[in-house]
Structure 1
Amino acid sequence: MSAPLFLRPGEYFFGRCEGSVVTLLGSCVAIILWHPQQRLVGVSHYLLPRRLQHHPDPADPAYEPDGDEQDTRYGSAVFQRLLGDIRASGVPASHYRKGIFGGGRLVQDASSPIARIGQNNIQFARRCFEQLGWAIDQQDVDGAAYRRLQVDGLSGRVSCECRPSLGLPPGKPHDQSLYRR
């Protein structure tokens, strides 16, 4: 088995993987696809439903796409890429197992627009699944937690470990020692 492939925010993978695909999710959402016979795996890590255009509130669900359908930091591009990759695989979407993960609430102040980002990401994913007629086979979303998500490229097994968020209030400085090695 090869070393894990780690996806950072905004990254995307679709194909065969001899190891696992791993990502860490806060308010971001990952869409997972798995085809057992072909051993095709799709994993995304999107930050927002769509690119912010004329809405100053980053949690505003009234985003407008800007035509950049390859920027997988945004859910709209993720679904476009997934649909294209599914078509290119020659295997119907109905033959894939599918999941939604992430969308945690990572700040204490529920009135903060930032606190709604995770919920908007989840709603966007669910709305896309519904429009595409996709069933959600597995999900672990919402809550005051971040997640370590791992998808085994050989078996399709999904491991999602939840850890409590630090619950940092917005606008306060974060302890930078948490980010140093």
Structure 2
Amino acid sequence: MVMVFLGPGDYLFARIDEPVSIVLGSCVALMAWQPELRLTLATHIMLPGRDPEDEQDLRYACAVLKRWTADSIDKGLSMHAFRLGLFGGSSQFFHCQQRELSVGYKNITCMHNELRRIGLTLNAEDTGGGIHRKLLFNGQNGQYQIQYLDREADGKSGVESCL
């Protein structure tokens, strides 16, 4: 089976029949799916802000949202027509009282704030904690599966659902 793997800073906005795979630690994946067109947005965001030297750097949350906005407008679509999911944002190397210092926590908070700012809400979320994740997304039906990858996840089963 052919699979599309997204690495840090990768961005996909297309109708895709192959499953999408993203391995996440502190990075987050914003996923969006438009059911009628079976159009998928898949991202692998590394950092919460925007690099002031390069606004097109898709490792940054704000640059990803700016690009998705432009791509949606180009296709004549409203971003509100998409079902959204946010995944990842592990804070594995920080104790609970220090989690606000972690990149994972900052990524999650930034995405929540930016989505709220543009009036979008999440339909699914599996973020935070100290567990790395592997996300598999099916662009044909909007279903996703999360596999937990750390020893800390022993006994914690994966999650399967639909955007």
| TM-score, length of structure 2 as denominator length | 0.85
Contact 1:107 1:115 (8 Å CA) reproduced: no
| Residue deviations 1:74-128 (CA, integer Å, cap 9, x gap) | 1111111111111122121111101111101121556778961100000000001
| Residue deviations 1:34-64 (CA, integer Å, cap 9, x gap) | 001111100111111124xxxxxxxxxxxxx
Q: CA deviation at 1:162?
A: 2.0
Contact 2:49 2:61 (8 Å CA) reproduced: yes
Map of 1:142 onto structure 2: 128
Give the distance between the partners of 1:124 and 1:23, measured in 2 at CA. Answer: 20
Aligned residues: CA RMSD:
2.0
| Residue deviations 1:7-57 (CA, integer Å, cap 9, x gap) | 011111110111111100000011011001111100111111124xxxxxx
Give the distance between the partners of 2:24 and 2:128, measured in 1 at CA. Answer: 11
CA spacing shift, 1:165–1:100, aligned 2, 3 Å: farther
Map of 1:81 onto structure 2: 67
Give aligned pairs, total. 152
| TM-score, length of structure 1 as denominator length | 0.77
Contact 1:103 1:121 (8 Å CA) reproduced: yes
Unaligned runs of 5+ in 2: 153-163
CA spacing shift, 1:118–1:38, aligned 2, 3 Å: same
Larger Rg: 1
Map of 2:138 onto structure 1: 152
